[in-house]
């Protein structure tokens, strides 16, 4: 039985079209009591404080949890938040914690209840019926486990035997390319570097990672436009900007510490523009919890001066409309654009200007869903600002045209010289805490030649040169049998990936799956013919190796690198660090390797010394990482050095997308996450900032779209998606909820709705699944198939 101790009814069972997986993607089993109200309170504030108090109480160790909050993101003996990648305050003036960080660290501090006694009492078939919430809520994994197909149970295995199984299986493959090695964004820089070193010394570039599903479009667009896949700004720029635009982002849930910087920007009179199909809490008001006087007075700060409700996928047309208005303004004011910057530092302006001039306003209005006067109002705001930052998140990237849209952001910034000076520039808002560091330190299935050259020279081997497999090709390879071994460092690949039936089929088709994890999740239940669960330390836990206590580094979303030390004892003596686990697997796989794996495992300073010789910007790594607040990796584009073929920043003249209107009475669906969720980890069925309680199986719809379909509030609906390859997918028993979203658009929660995105539904520009650009049909619910 599920720990919810309740038999789900038909509605609860048919949450996705995944036969045999009734619990897929669910939070706690809904108890039938659900409601929605308009949320008009400030973001953060007392609501966040109460939520943190409940989280600490539920954790069972409120004093230890409270202590952890005051050591998280602190420079003196603190540890880095394992949640989002928002930077720490560079001046140390703020108490750098947030509600979501508190949830994540207390989630990590749970007791190790997923122990051998638990697994001896439960088959995998039984655990498959548990909700994803119940699997993770069980607690921390206690020791390494191996799947026994004869009993359908996970059983204890020694670390040495686990490593031997990995090594023997990999060496028995006909080709190194028959294995794939996935990375989630939580892996430290040191572990990341060892991971890619092991994989490349083994002989493949099959290194799919979570970036392939989130910000791949950002990296490819920025590399083409300015010669670097990263943003150019830091928090000092956020403190100097007089205009900040946020596109496709819900800061209150995705990066709550951003609210502090938005509040401070508002107080100095900056323009704060939110561009999103949904009006979110982070676009209105906030009370920053560490501002105790404001908390006591219940005094909120406005954090939005303009809301622009663009249609899903309409951001590129909106941005081009802004560019059109700016260029038209030059007829009266020659200083509307920065001609000197454009002439000295850019390429392709004349072609872009001609393209914009030839694009009629009607096309821009239709494409964006925003009236011409409102686009001009937005452009006027931009023209009135001297220093502008444009930030964006997955609402822009998980589309077919994500790369072109990010490049249009750069176009708008280039027009007024808003790159390479204080208070201005592009700013991708990254998700997981070290997702940017993973790419910097070598997790890339399309590695650049100069990185491979240096890696081979320093580490004494010839790295493979063939392009490897990204996320979706890895799934296809597992299904076809071309990929026989799948190793995952963190994350919950089975739920995070698109087309879950296909993903599940691929994982089950593998000869061996290896999951390095802290907690039980769906990816342990959907496994290969043989399977290992290797439990690792959390970031808040002390990491003791042969040379003493170790620290690890991460790179935040603005290229700051800093060291982090755990503060509490591990929840089980049988856990190992990610670095130690990787070194163990590498030694077992490469018995003749000259790489000093044991030395690296015993002293992470030695890893950092090697990284300093391989990676640009990591010179004197050990010393600089220990500086207060760490160091920033130099961004050449910030200095107006553009490593593009032309040596200049490139204007893009891509055509506008023609797929924003699904037609035929269909809707364009975007997936979102709730406030009580971190990536695939679901803390409850509530979504406080959207006013929803007790339910996740909902589709947020425009009120008129509901009326046209004869749907009542919380009426039962089915949702069918239409894939690029002509196939269809369907989820049953969802409920319609009226929300402030443009007509023809809809939204629902991931990971549950990832099932609607087929493997064919990937961007031809970025190879990302287009989970925020799904054509769907919403109808009154019919009896679900058995």
Local confidence band at 38 (pLDDT 50, 70, 90 cut-offs): confident
Could you report the per-residue pLDDT of 317-340, keeping only the tens digit for each? 999 999 999 999 999 999 999 999
Can you tell me the distance from the alpha carbon of 246 to that of 459, in angstroms, rounded to the nearest whole number? Answer: 42
Residue 1: what pLDDT? Answer: 44
Can you tell me the distance from the alpha carbon of 433 to that of 436, in angstroms, rounded to the nearest whole number? Answer: 8
Question: Residues 6 or more apart from 663 whose CB is under 8 A from it?
Answer: none
Residue 23: what pLDDT? Answer: 41
Question: Tokens 């570039």 — which residue?
Answer: 205
As a whole number, mean pLDDT of residues 358-375 equals: 98
Local confidence band at 421 (pLDDT 50, 70, 90 cut-offs): very high
Q: Where is average pLDDT lowest: 281-290, 319-328, 476-485?
A: 281-290
Can you tell me the distance from the alpha carbon of 549 to that of 566, in angstroms, rounded to the nearest whole number? Answer: 9
Residue 504: what pLDDT? Answer: 97
Residue 539: what pLDDT? Answer: 86
Q: Treating both helix axes as pointing N-terminal to C-terminal, what angle do 99-108 and 45-59 enclose, rounded to 10 degrees?
A: 10
**Could you tell me which of 425, 436, 419, 431 has the C-alpha nearest to residue 390?**
425
Q: Treating both helix axes as pointing N-terminal to C-terminal, what angle do 45-59 and 62-69 enclose, rounded to 10 degrees?
A: 130
Can you tell me the distance from the alpha carbon of 148 to that of 151, in angstroms, rounded to the nearest whole number? Answer: 6
In degrees, rounded to 5, the angle at the alpha carbon of residue 678 between the alpha carbons of residues 409 and 229 is 30
Q: In degrees rounded to 5, what are phi and psi of residue 734?
A: -80, 175
What number of other Cβ atoms are within 10 A of residue 581's Cβ? 27
Can you tell me the distance from the alpha carbon of 43 to that of 279, in angstroms, rounded to the nearest whole number? Answer: 13
Can you tell me the distance from the alpha carbon of 607 to that of 553, in angstroms, rounded to the nearest whole number? Answer: 11
Residue 682: what pLDDT? Answer: 85
Local confidence band at 19 (pLDDT 50, 70, 90 cut-offs): very low
Query: What Rg value do the Cα atoms of the chain yield, rounded?
Result: 25
As a whole number, mean pLDDT of residues 574-582 equals: 98
Could you report the per-residue pLDDT of 150-174, keeping only the tens digit for each? 999 999 999 999 999 999 999 999 9
Question: Tokens 């409309």 — which residue?
Answer: 321
Each as own residue / partner, the long-range contacts of residues 477-482 (CB below 8 Å, 24 or more positions apart, any chain) are 477/180, 477/506, 478/180, 478/505, 478/506, 478/507, 478/509, 478/510, 479/505, 479/506, 479/509, 481/509, 482/177, 482/178
Strands 425-428 and 388-392, how do they pair?
parallel
Residue 749: what pLDDT? Answer: 96
Can you tell me the distance from the alpha carbon of 697 to that of 713, in angstroms, rounded to the nearest whole number? Answer: 13
Mean pLDDT of the chain: 89
Task: Give me the residues paired with residue 183 across strands.
Answer: 209, 489
Q: Treating both helix axes as pointing N-terminal to C-terminal, what angle do 189-202 and 578-589 enclose, rounded to 10 degrees?
A: 10
Question: Residues 6 or more apart from 539 whose CB is under 8 A from it?
Answer: 79, 80, 82, 108, 186, 188, 433, 552, 564, 566
Could you report the per-residue pLDDT of 64-77, keeping only the tens digit for each? 655 555 555 555 55
Return the higher-pLDDT residue of 102 and 61.
102
Local confidence band at 431 (pLDDT 50, 70, 90 cut-offs): confident
What pTM does this model have? 0.92
As a whole number, mean pLDDT of residues 337-355 equals: 98
Q: Let me know: does 432 contact 184? Beta carbons within 8 Å.
A: yes
Can you tell me the distance from the alpha carbon of 277 to that of 687, in angstroms, rounded to the nearest whole number? Answer: 17
**DSSP of 422-490, one letter per residue?**
TT-EEEE---BTTHHHHHHTT--SS--HHHHHHHHHHHTS----S----HHHHHHHHHHTS--EEEEES
As a whole number, mean pLDDT of residues 91-105 equals: 65
As a whole number, mean pLDDT of residues 240-246 equals: 96
Can you tell me the distance from the alpha carbon of 74 to that of 261, in angstroms, rounded to the nearest whole number? Answer: 18
Could you report the per-residue pLDDT of 180-222, keeping only the tens digit for each? 999 998 899 999 999 999 999 999 999 999 999 999 999 999 9
Could you report the per-residue pLDDT of 680-722, keeping only the tens digit for each? 888 888 998 898 999 999 999 999 999 999 999 999 999 999 9
Residue 94: what pLDDT? Answer: 56
550 is written with which tokens? 């170790």
**Could you tell me which of 497, 627, 589, 603 has the C-alpha nearest to residue 550?**
603
3-state secondary structure 100-160: HHHHHHHHHCCCCCECHHHHHCCCHHHHCCCCHHHHHHCCEECCCEEEECCCCEEEECCHH
Residue 284: what pLDDT? Answer: 73
Residue 56: what pLDDT? Answer: 63
Q: Where is average pLDDT lowest: 121-130, 398-407, 487-496, 555-564?
A: 555-564
């Amino acid at each position: 039985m599920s720990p919810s101790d309740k038999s789900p009814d038909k509605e609860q069972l048919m949450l996705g079209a995944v036969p045999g997986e009734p619990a897929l993607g669910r939070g706690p089993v809904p108890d039938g009591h659900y409601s929605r109200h308009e949320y008009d309170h400030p973001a953060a504030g007392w609501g966040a404080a109460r939520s943190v108090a409940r989280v600490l109480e539920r954790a069972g160790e409120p004093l230890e949890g409270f202590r952890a909050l005051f050591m998280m993101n602190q420079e003196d003996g603190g540890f880095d938040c394992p949640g989002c990648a928002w930077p720490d305050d560079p001046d140390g003036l703020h108490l750098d914690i947030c509600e979501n960080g508190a949830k994540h660290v207390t989630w990590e501090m749970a007791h190790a209840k997923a122990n051998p006694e638990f697994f001896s009492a439960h088959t995998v078939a039984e655990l498959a019926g548990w909700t994803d919430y119940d699997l993770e809520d069980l607690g921390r994994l206690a020791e390494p486990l191996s799947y026994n197909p004869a009993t359908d149970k996970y059983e204890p295995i020694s670390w040495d035997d686990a490593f031997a199984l990995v090594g023997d299986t990999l060496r028995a493959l006909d080709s190194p390319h028959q294995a794939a090695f996935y990375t989630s964004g939580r892996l430290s820089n040191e572990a990341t570097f060892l991971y890619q070193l092991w994989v490349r010394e083994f002989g493949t570039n099959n290194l799919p990672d979570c970036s392939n599903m989130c910000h791949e479009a950002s990296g490819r667009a920025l590399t083409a436009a300015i010669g670097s896949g990263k943003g150019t700004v830091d928090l000092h720029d956020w403190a100097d900007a007089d205009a900040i635009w946020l596109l496709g982002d819900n800061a209150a849930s995705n990066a709550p510490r951003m609210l502090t910087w938005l509040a401070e920007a508002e107080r100095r009179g900056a323009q704060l523009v939110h561009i999103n199909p949904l009006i979110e809490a982070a676009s209105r008001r906030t009370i920053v919890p560490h501002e105790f006087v404001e908390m006591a007075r219940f005094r909120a700060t406005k954090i939005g001066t303009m809301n622009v409700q663009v249609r899903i996928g309409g951001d590129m047309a909106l941005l081009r409309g802004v560019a059109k208005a700016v260029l038209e303004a030059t007829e009266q004011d020659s200083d509307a654009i920065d001609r000197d910057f454009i002439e000295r530092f850019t390429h392709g302006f004349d072609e872009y200007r001609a393209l914009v001039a030839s694009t009629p306003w009607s096309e821009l209005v239709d494409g964006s869903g925003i009236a011409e006067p409102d686009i001009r109002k937005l452009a006027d705001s931009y023209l009135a600002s001297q220093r502008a930052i444009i930030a964006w998140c997955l609402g822009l990237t998980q589309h077919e045209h994500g790369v072109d849209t990010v490049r249009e952001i750069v176009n708008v910034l280039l027009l007024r010289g808003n790159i390479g000076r204080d208070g201005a520039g592009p700013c991708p808002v990254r998700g997981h805490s070290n997702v940017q560091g993973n790419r910097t330190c070598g997790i890339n299935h399309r590695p650049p030649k100069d990185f491979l050259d240096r890696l081979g020279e320093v580490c004494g081997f010839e790295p493979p040169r063939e392009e490897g497999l990204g996320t979706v090709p890895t799934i296809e390879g597992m299904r076809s049998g071309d990929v026989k071994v799948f190793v995952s460092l963190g994350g919950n690949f089975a739920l995070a990936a698109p087309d879950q039936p296909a993903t599940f089929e691929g994982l089950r088709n593998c000869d061996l799956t290896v999951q390095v994890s802290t907690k039980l999740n769906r990816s342990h239940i959907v496994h290969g013919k043989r399977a290992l669960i290797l439990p690792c330390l959390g970031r808040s836990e002390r990491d003791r190796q042969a040379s003493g206590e170790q620290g690890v580094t991460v790179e935040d979303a603005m290229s700051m690198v800093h060291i982090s030390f755990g503060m509490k004892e591990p929840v089980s003596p049988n856990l190992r660090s990610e670095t130690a686990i990787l070194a163990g697997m590498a030694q077992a796989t490469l018995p003749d390797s000259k790489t000093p794996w044991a030395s690296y495992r015993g002293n992470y300073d030695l890893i950092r010394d090697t990284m300093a010789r391989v990676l640009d910007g990591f010179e004197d790594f050990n010393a600089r990482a220990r500086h207060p607040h760490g160091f920033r990796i130099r961004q050449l584009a910030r200095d107006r050095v553009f490593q593009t073929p032309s040596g200049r920043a490139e204007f893009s003249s891509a055509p506008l997308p023609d797929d924003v209107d699904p037609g035929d009475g269909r809707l364009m669906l975007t997936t979102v996450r709730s406030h009580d969720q971190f990536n695939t980890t679901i803390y409850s069925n509530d979504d406080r900032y959207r006013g929803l309680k007790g339910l996740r199986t909902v589709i947020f719809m425009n009120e008129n779209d509901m009326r046209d379909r004869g749907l009542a509030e919380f009426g039962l609906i089915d949702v069918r998606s239409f894939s690029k390859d002509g196939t269809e997918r369907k989820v049953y028993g969802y409920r319609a909820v009226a929300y402030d979203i443009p007509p023809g658009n809809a939204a629902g929660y991931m990971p549950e709705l990832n099932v609607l995105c087929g493997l064919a539904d990937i961007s031809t520009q970025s190879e990302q699944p287009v989970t925020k650009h799904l054509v769907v049909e919403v109808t009154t619910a019919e009896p679900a198939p058995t």
